[in-house]
Amino acid sequence: MNFETLDVWKRSARLSAQLYQQFSGLRDFGFKDQITRSGLSIPSNIAEGMVRPTTKDRIKFLYIALGSCAELRTQVYIGTEIGYVEREQGRLWVSETKEIAAMLTGLIRRQASHGKASASGHSS
């Protein structure tokens, strides 16, 4: 499957770009590094997973993306509390990470059911 056609990849890549733009001037390099890395990890792991040859590998990387999404949401909450993220922007990013997580969960389920179906015929 071509990861570039997946809405979850497109949305997470767009979110990652927004994070880099938002925090480009932040002098707290530790926070900036953490939040941009977790944001970048989501579309990167979706892409890496979707080109893997086995269902098990695809699912593994999608779960890593899901974990990065939870990590990013946590950092958005903290960034909002400490004043690095405006409240409204924080709410939008929290909402987007929840939607991306739900999309990833659906993709994981589809991959798992596809793997079960194809396991009876050949290795996926």
Length of the chain: 124
Q: What is the mean pLDDT of residues 52-62?
A: 96
Q: How would you label 27-48 residue by residue, b for 16+ Cβ within 10 Å and e otherwise?
A: eeeebbebbbbbbbbbbbbbbb
Please tell me the predicted confidence (pLDDT) of residue 118: 63
Beta-carbon count within 10 A of 110 CB? 12
Mean pLDDT, rounded, of the chain = 94
Domain positions in the chain are 3-119
Q: How confident is the model at residue 1 (pLDDT cuts 50, 70, 90)?
A: confident
Q: How confident is the model at residue 56 (pLDDT cuts 50, 70, 90)?
A: very high
Please tell me the predicted confidence (pLDDT) of residue 124: 44
Question: Has this prediction a pTM greater than 0.95?
Answer: no
User: What is the number of alpha carbons within 13 Å of residue 8 lying toward its C-beta?
Assistant: 26
Q: What's the CATH architecture for 3-119?
A: Up-down Bundle (1.20)
Please tell me the predicted confidence (pLDDT) of residue 95: 98
Q: Which DSSP string do the residues of the chain spell out, in sequence order?
A: --GGG-HHHHHHHHHHHHHHHHTTT-S-HHHHHHHHHHHHHHHHHHHHHHTSSSHHHHHHHHHHHHHHHHHHHHHHHHHHHTTSS-HHHHHHHHHHHHHHHHHHHHHHHHHHHHHHHHHTTS--
Q: What is the pLDDT of residues 72-124, one digit of tens each?
A: 999 999 999 999 999 999 999 999 999 999 999 999 999 999 877 665 555 44
